[in-house]
Amino acid sequence: MAKKKTSFFERMQNLDRRYIYFVVALSIIIPLVIPFNSRTYVTAPTENVYKKIDSFSGKTDRAILMCFSHDASTMAELFPMEVSVLRHCFERKVQVFTICFMPAAKPLMDYAINTAKEDYDVQSGIDYVNFGYKPWGLFLPILLGMGDDIGEAVETDDQGRKVANLPIMKEIRNYNEMNLVIDFAASAAVYSWIIYARARFGANVAAGITAVMAADNYPYLQTGQLTGMLSGLKGAAEYEKLVDVFATNKDEFGNPAPLEFSKEVIKSTWIKLSDIKERKYKTARIGMNAQTVAHVMIIVFIILGNIGYFMSRKKKKNEQLG
């Protein structure tokens, strides 16, 4: 008896799933090992965070506060945006404070600062201050206390120095000067900053969150309670691009020549990842490439599987009728 001829789609129906896993794995690994260029479209919530931070450039009476509210499980999405924001601050002479209320966040906070400052001549206590880890029980007292006096609310930094005596505090007192708080979280931690720092003291609050948390935070963007938002790896990739396009721009002699923010410049600028020497400054964009290719491959397999399924159904129906 002659063997029945099967179509390509029918063979795909019976394909060993291990081959599918192998192809998807390759679609992730290859773009990570061999980065390629793809266009990164920047969204308004990311733009707003960048513009707010950049408006503090060179001002000794302005600063931002970065709160690290996550552990290593969400590092892939949040760490690149943290490094990008720190890099932006160091590049544009924006004073920055960092703090965390989770023990697991402390080494990540230190790692982000050390990673970003490698290429910059910045000094702790002058250009930035790491408040370090503070117990969760002190979260609300510190949050509210900084509305009156930061030096009293956070008495010492992670090196044991008295915060009020640090040079960076000369013109910084409370949320009036430390006028942007960015909470990097995989949870609803940012809501506390909105409820207290924003509502009571009028501080600008932004969020750096995982992609799955984005939908929960969009209402706060629409009401203006959030100044801006970096959402997942996409938001990190967008911020990396903004820093590379505007903050790190150099003139023909290689001297720093930061550009004013412009949507036209964003659209017309094409940055080759190969031109960026440090891989740590393009982590999110490389990750987005791998994520995109993997998603495309999964979609292809879904389409092929569905076509094969309906063709098989039609063939069985014809055999029953005929």
pLDDT per position in the chain (322 positions), as tens? 455 667 777 777 777 889 888 999 999 999 888 888 888 889 999 999 999 999 999 999 999 999 999 999 999 999 999 999 999 999 999 999 999 999 999 999 999 999 999 999 999 999 999 999 999 999 999 999 999 999 999 999 999 999 999 999 999 999 999 999 999 998 888 999 999 999 999 999 999 999 999 999 999 999 999 999 999 999 999 999 999 999 988 877 777 888 888 888 888 787 877 777 778 888 999 999 998 899 899 998 888 888 888 888 887 888 787 6
Residue span of the structural domain in which 160 resides: 44-281
Residues 264 and 304 in one domain: no
pLDDT at res. 72: 95
In a domain, 3, yes or no: no
In a domain, 267, yes or no: yes
Residues 226 and 194 in one domain: yes
Are 77 and 210 spatial neighbours (Cβ–Cβ below 8 Å)? Answer: yes
Residues 206 and 304 in one domain: no
Instruction: Report the amino acid identity of residue 260.
Output: E
In a domain, 90, yes or no: yes
pLDDT at res. 318: 80
Residues 196 and 311 in one domain: no
Q: How far is CA 75 from CA 87, 99, 209, 230, 284, in A?
A: 17, 16, 11, 14, 11
In a domain, 286, yes or no: no
Residues 295 and 190 in one domain: no
Instruction: Report the amino acid identity of residue 29.
Output: I
Cα–Cα distance measured from residue 279 to residue 195, given in angstroms and rounded to the nearest whole number:
38
Residues 22 and 107 in one domain: no
Phi, psi dihedral angles at 95 (to 5 degrees): -70, 140
Residues 229 and 312 in one domain: no
- Give me 209's structure tokens: 């969150």
Residues 58 and 92 in one domain: yes
Instruction: Report the amino acid identity of residue 228.
Output: G
Q: What is the average pLDDT score of the chain?
A: 91
Residues 30 and 91 in one domain: no
pLDDT at res. 236: 96
In a domain, 2, yes or no: no
Number of domains in the chain: 2
Residues 57 and 99 in one domain: yes
Total-model pTM: 0.89
In a domain, 1, yes or no: no
Residues 296 and 271 in one domain: no
Q: How far is CA 238 from CA 46, 244, 245, 274, in A?
A: 7, 10, 11, 17
Cα–Cα distance measured from residue 322 to residue 137, given in angstroms and rounded to the nearest whole number:
75
In a domain, 237, yes or no: yes
Looking up residue 54, the CATH number of its domain turns out to be 3.40.50
**Which of helix, strand or coil describes residue 64?**
strand
Residues 198 and 82 in one domain: yes
pLDDT at res. 1: 47
In a domain, 88, yes or no: yes
